[in-house]
Amino acid sequence: MTPNDLCVQTGHQGACEMCCDSDNANGYATYVDALIQDCACTMGAVCYTQCSDPMDLCSNQAAMSGSAACIGCLNAVAMTDPCFTAGTGSVNAACAAVPSCVALTACSKGCNGLPM
């Protein structure tokens, strides 16, 4: 049984995702850092306007929290915008370069389809 199997056995998508994040902490950090930089906090990024107000995500990236508008924008572009999918300078490209992030992605795919 792999760690991914154990995460899927939680039986709920949220718990499964948290299990994957915990098992692959370095990969999760890589993913979040790339998401913040490539999709939110670089001038011209797709969610820059929504995330760059004072006290929002880009003013305190280490807090990894943002306004409803910022998080809503990131959720709306997740997995489809070039900030995720481009061959370079994207979440997917950053993740592909880090084995624990690749493992996180594989684990998370196993959570798809579980009840929320």
pLDDT grade for 102, boundaries at 50, 70 and 90: very high
**Tell me, what amino acid is at 92?**
N
In the chain, domain spans: 3-111
Determine the Cα–Cα distance for residues 95 and 113; give it in Å rounded to an integer.
23
CA distances from 44 to 21, 37, 50, 69, 72 (A): 29, 11, 11, 17, 17
Distance of CA 111 to the CA centre of its chain: 14
Determine the Cα–Cα distance for residues 94 and 65; give it in Å rounded to an integer.
21
Determine the Cα–Cα distance for residues 6 and 102; give it in Å rounded to an integer.
18
Provide φ and ψ at 98, rounded to 5°.
Answer: -125, 115
pLDDT digits (tens, 9 = 90+) for 35-86: 999 999 999 999 999 999 988 999 887 766 789 999 999 999 988 999 999 9
